[in-house]
Amino acid sequence: MLADTVLRWIEQTSLSSAIRQSDWAVMALEAVHLLGLALLGGAAVIATLRHADIRLRTFVRELRPVALTGFALMVLSGTLIALSMPFKYYNNTAFQWKMLLLVCAVFSTLRLARKPARVLALLSLILWLSVGFSGRLIGFL
């Protein structure tokens, strides 16, 4: 099977085995993943809510680098964690859901950015919360 071959190849790369065999690498990467979430999630919440005195447009513009830094940290750390144990994550139902929901959430958000609409905003919010919940569930399965 193709998937099997690719996963086996990933598992045998030196990057994957180095992270897997380290006592602290995955833990550190998970901590970075959460730090990224705090930056991205915090910036997203600020850019969503209405605030006293400061226009939303100002926040959206000024917090973009903060949000992008958080997103980059999450993608980088998340990818490395997944690569370290490709079979475990590929076969984890919560991980499969998370990836599916993540793709939906990204598309929904990109569409929302082009054409703001209340229903789409609500859908995006629910999708992102589901990404977070399925992410938390990975460790419970």
Partner 1 sequence: MALEWLYEQPWAVALRESENAYPLIETVHVLSIAIIVGTVVAVDLRVLGLILKTEPVTRVGRALLPTTWYGFLIMLLTGVPLFAAQAIQLYSNPAFRLKILLLALAGINALLFHRTTYRTVGDWDYANAAPISARAFAVTSIALWSAIIVSGRLIAVFHAR
Q: Which residues bind partner 1 (CB under 8 A)?
A: 27, 30-31, 34-35, 37-46, 49, 51-54, 58-59, 62-63, 65-66, 129, 132-133, 135-137, 139-140
Residue whose CB is less far from partner 1, 8 or 51: 51
- Residue 8 one-letter amino acid: R
| In the complex, least distance from residue 31 CB atom to partner 1, rounded to whole angstroms | 4
Residue whose CB is less far from partner 1, 5 or 23: 23
Residue whose CB is less far from partner 1, 17 or 58: 58
| In the complex, least distance from residue 65 CB atom to partner 1, rounded to whole angstroms | 7
Residue pair 86/112 in contact by the 8 Å Cβ criterion: no
Residue with tokens 């703001």: 116
DSSP 8-state symbol, 30: H
Residue with tokens 């144990």: 85
| In the complex, least distance from residue 138 CB atom to partner 1, rounded to whole angstroms | 10
Residue whose CB is less far from partner 1, 31 or 100: 31
The contacts of residue 44 (CB under 8 Å, 6+ apart) are 67, 128
Residue pair 105/127 in contact by the 8 Å Cβ criterion: yes
